[in-house]
Structure formats: C-alpha cells, structure tokens
Amino acid sequence: MTSFANDGPDEAHRRPAGVSDETVEALGKLSEALETVERARGRLYDLHQLIGHADLMLDDAVSLLREAGHPDLAERIESELIGRNVIDGRWTFQLVEEFDDGYYALFRELDRTAREHIAGGRRHLYEAEMKERRRTHGRPGHSAAPESGPTP
C-alpha cells in the first residue's frame, strides 16, 4: 500500500521560500521559450542533414544524366550546384556552429543564470506546481513521483 504522507513534488521541484507566483511564471515562460528554441535547433539540424544528403544524391543524378546522354546538364549541376554554399560563404555546418556558439549558447546560459539566481537552480517549478494543481492525490497514475526507485 502506498503512503501519501509525502505526496508532493521532490525538493528539486519545490519553490524556494520567498519566490513569488510572478517569478515562477516568468521562469516558466523563459523555460518554455528555451524549449521552443530547442525545437528550432532540431529543425536547423534537420536542414543541415537534409541539405547534405541532397548534395550527395546529386552525384548519382549527375552520373545518370551523363549516361542518359545529357552531359551539358550534368556538367552544369556538377559545377554550379554540387558543393554550393547554401547562403553567402556558408555550408549548413557553419550555420549550425554559429547558431550553437552564439544565440543558442547565450539563451541556455541566461536560462541557467536566471534559475540559479532566483530559484536555487531548480528547473520546471511552473510545471511542477501545475502538476500538483491538476493531479488527483491518492489516485493510481496520479502520484507526485515514481512509486519505485530507478531501475539499475
């Protein structure tokens, strides 16, 4: 039988003393914005991999065009398109690196700084409090934390 005496969030997800509702909401919005940037970063990596794959596929297209009797078109694709920069002076790996080292790194740093400065480094306070408001205490599937420890 499960005891519900300590049926609440673990210490890592409890609001520190003195942290206001507005602050928890602001940290939640900052976290949500970072999650959106994480999704955008994934799409940037999708772009990187898709463009790279397409560029490699052009090798086969050029060979097939030559074999089919279209050497002029094959030569144009080979000389003008294969290996071309996707934007001025950059391949997609350079876009990824600049994004990761610039905007993304700063965003993550400021999110971490805000959590450390305001909430003792705690993450997802807004979501943890929402979980507490929305779950039905004592019901199966509604516990605050896993009922058993992690499996080795």
Q: Which two tokens stand for residue 142?
A: 């509604």
Domain residue extents for the chain: 21-131
Q: Which pLDDT score is estimated for 2?
A: 41
The residue type found at 130 is M
- Mean pLDDT by runs of 10 across the 152 residues of the chain is 60 90 95 98 98 98 98 98 97 98 98 96 92 90 79 53
Q: Which pLDDT score is estimated for 9?
A: 85
Q: Which pLDDT score is estimated for 12?
A: 86
Q: Which pLDDT score is estimated for 138?
A: 87
Angular region, 39: left φ>0, alpha ψ -120 to 50, beta rest: alpha
SS3 for 120? coil
Among 51, 81, 50, 77, smallest CA distance to 63 is for 77
Q: Which pLDDT score is estimated for 45?
A: 98
SS3 for 94? helix
